[in-house]
Structure 1
């Protein structure tokens, strides 16, 4: 189940990365143009994205740790969180396929935090060193984003902080191609990731996975013989 979670998170990052371009595209262009040579620009881009993904992983560990704490204290909390996570996955899939845009409201959760972080991010621009780019990525990872927050809420049901961190890492890696590719390749990738057929296929796959997670929780485990219930 762990590897399926990671695949779903990666797929969501990959297919939802058009949204990432909207949120971080300006910074990507700035980092590409601010440094003279192609090598320097590539190092800055990698540093920024490494920082961003590190923040996702840290946030995943924190949220999953909170979920684990709740589950340890209250037995039923584990079941509630897993049901909630499955519903969240379905909501994410609907967002991915452009069938329902409710997840944009999730962005309001982080607006208060971002208000305090934004001045620090502003001070790091324009980026002149890869160290600045890394720091900017670490801060920018907290930017209010329905896409990121939805995956984070999903990590509440992770078995451990390490698993929560891995889910967010897989999601972050899924966003990398669209963030690192430039020029004609970026346009082609964006076109591919925005293909309705591909997005619908990814959404249906994630919904099937979510229902598969949900069935044992409501006593309809199709693989009951192979499962041991706690």
Structure 2
């Protein structure tokens, strides 16, 4: 879960800075990019992530590694043998790592962004957001708290490769509670950038900083991919799990 927080915190530097800039423009049409409205938007977005993470954790729960004791040496004692569930769980972690490495390359512009594979879904999402953010005619009433929170939840459903990588990590967590917590921390990790992008976009030459942010974000996503690779290999028994206190790094 710590890795998910770091992924959100640093990965968003090179990804959300460009992808989510247009979202803030749409939200500004409803006047929810200031003060407590913006805070509710952010809460709604993270709430969507937590719900998606719980669902991913529920799906991954069936892939929880189970240790079956098999007597390999007769009376000399039993040794743990990883079941097929653990094999699938390790494979899911390695798939997460592959997606993370691909995301890092996409952030550097080396390969096409994975969002291009979801372009049709993204277009439908964009049409929905444009409808939701249309200011009612002749209305001078500012959007209420439920509207701000709901728009944030809709934002959380934006198809995004970085979110997909985090969701795979939530599935590896292996339970709805841990999956939801993983995505919650991921969402909280993206807060600094999504709060700062509104201020950054006001600067005339803010886009000149984007390449540097992408490099920093890509490095962080690579480190996340390495962690997930080691976790997958550890689940397969190829390397040992590493614990720091009660925290399992992989």
Which has more helix, going by share of residues? 1
After TM superposition, which residue ranges in structure 1, 4 or more long, deviate above 6 angstroms?
A: 185-190
Larger Rg: 2
Query: Are residues 1:217 and 2:213 paired?
Result: no
Per-residue Cα deviation, 1:44-82 (whole angstroms, up to 9, x for no partner): 111111101100000000111012135499x52342133
Change (3 A) 1:138 1:101: same
Distance 2:168 2:103 in 1: 15
Contact kept, 8 Å, 1:92 with 1:103, in 2: the verdict is no
Distance 2:57 2:241 in 1: 26
Of 155, 160, 168, which aligns to 1:140? Answer: 155
Per-residue Cα deviation, 1:195-225 (whole angstroms, up to 9, x for no partner): 466345424422331232133233323369x
Of 87, 101, 104, which aligns to 2:95? Answer: 87
Contact kept, 8 Å, 2:52 with 2:167, in 1: the verdict is yes
Query: Are residues 1:11 and 2:6 paired?
Result: yes
Q: Structure 1 stretch 8-17 or stretch 167-176: which is displaced more? A: 8-17
Distance 2:132 2:213 in 1: 38
TM-score by length of 1: 0.73
Contact kept, 8 Å, 1:52 with 1:137, in 2: the verdict is yes
2:71 corresponds to: none
Query: Are residues 1:123 and 2:132 paired?
Result: yes
Contact kept, 8 Å, 1:117 with 1:139, in 2: the verdict is no
Of 36, 43, 49, which aligns to 1:56? Answer: 49
Change (3 A) 1:185 1:22: closer
TM-score by length of 2: 0.68
Distance 1:153 1:9 in 2: 10
Distance 1:140 1:195 in 2: 22
Of 97, 111, 124, which aligns to 2:121? Answer: 111
Query: Are residues 1:171 and 2:186 paired?
Result: yes
The count of aligned residue pairs is: 214
Which has more strand, going by share of residues? 2
1:46 corresponds to: 39
Distance 2:126 2:201 in 1: 33
Distance 2:124 2:29 in 1: 27
Distance 2:148 2:174 in 1: 33
Cα RMSD for the two superposed structures: 3.7
1:23 corresponds to: 19
